[in-house]
Amino acid sequence: MHSALPKVLHPVCGRPMIGWVLETALELDPERAFVVQEEQLGTGHAVECAAAELEGFDGPVVVLYGDMPLLRPEGLTALLEARGESGDMSMLSTYSGDPTGYGRIIRDEGQNFERIVEEGDASAEERRIPEINLGVYAFGGTDLLSYLGRVESQNAQGENYLTDVPGLYAAEGRSVRIVELEDAEEGAGVNSLADLAEVRWGVQLRVLEAHLGNGVQIEDPATTYIDHGAEIGEGTVIFPCTVIRGGVRVGAGCEVGPFTHLREGTVLEDGAQVGNFTECKKSTIGEGSKAKHLSYLGDTVVGKGVNIGAGTIFANYDGKAKHQTIVGDGAFVGSGTIVVAPNEIGAGSTTGAGAVVTRSAKVGDDEVWIGVPARQLENAHSHEGGDENPVEGTTEE
């Protein structure tokens, strides 16, 4: 992976890769225990580290890899059903157009399982076999421990391979039932950053399909990035080139994008609109409020029916800490306004184009502020209080 980060902790759509695998495993409602593998001496050794937890347990034990985020629960269910009550074992396989890097499944003349050969130990003929082992097995607990004790390091890497266990079953005439995954993508493992990129798109497509199925209109899925854990309401439209991170909640009937970045902690209430080149971080955008152009909203609480003009910045960071700004219902923030937090922009108030509202200035309800630094415009009506808006250069949609 060329990374200091452990492989299975690399993020895939907003959660560690292993998080997807654990979610799949938990669909089987397993008993749970945690053990530590101090040394990495192969897949067989990894399972041996769990021996104390498995002692005396003869129920089914499922073994799977932490780098297969596309594996679905249905595959594991089929694996357990194939093993049944036989007391033998079952395993997952698939056929690959490019099996490089995977162990090949060797079958006898009757197409029964015979053994698994790792690529480093395979002959040139064996490497041409397209059926690959996915490393996902179901055993009986007692049998598994017994066979693991008989695995020897006789491979090119000098490691104890769990893949040797199915061969021991077959050599003794016991049944090894193979469950072939129809969708080879489900069995994709990650061994490089290139693999990670391919798998990420597969996971992303599933996330997008789930939102589409829930009534979210995604105009261009190919340029839309939505993390695991983002909540989006029915009737919301997501325009192209939009990024929505985990921990974001978007209400019903909203518009997001194009070129919008919603970061963790952001909430868009029903009917809110956040548009072109606008970034929101840990902010709440009230019902029917709009921030449509070139704006940054950091640690901001925006009320209902607010218009945020183009180029507005809520400057939340003073170099040491983040601070919050509260914008009241019906406020009208002029284009190019900078609001230095902590601050308050009162309900029904207006800021003129290019205004700089300095730290803690606190614009009052229905007041009009203009200039640098911004000051209240005396005897002026707000946009809601008079016949016309005295401040030019705002944007509204």
Instruction: Tell me which residues are annotated as active site.
Output: 293
> How would DSSP label each residue in 114-161?
EEEE-GGG--HHHHT--EEEEEEEEEEHHHHHHHHTT----STT----
CB 260 within 8 Å of CB 245? no
CB 281 within 8 Å of CB 263? yes
Whether a cis peptide bond, with omega within 30° of 0, leads into 6 is no
CB 186 within 8 Å of CB 65? no
Count of CB atoms situated within 10 Å of the CB of 392: 10
Name every residue whose Cβ is closer than 8 Å to that of residue 281 and which is 6 or more positions away in sequence. Answer: 263, 264, 265, 266, 296, 297, 298, 299, 316
- Conformational region of residue 84, where left means phi above 0, alpha means psi within -120 to 50, and beta covers everything else: left
Token pair for residue 370?
A: 């203009």
Name every residue whose Cβ is closer than 8 Å to that of residue 120 and which is 6 or more positions away in sequence. Answer: 155, 156, 157
Token pair for residue 189?
A: 């493992």
Closest to 47 measured CA to CA, from 26, 28, 63: 63
Residues, the chain: 397
Helix (H) or strand (E) holding 276: strand 273-276
Spell out where 230-272 has E strands: 231-232, 237-238, 242-244, 249-250, 255-256, 260-262, 267-268
Separation CA 187–CA 202 (nearest Å): 11
Residue with token string 């019906």: 330
Separation CA 224–CA 242 (nearest Å): 5
CB 244 within 8 Å of CB 263? no
Separation CA 341–CA 318 (nearest Å): 8
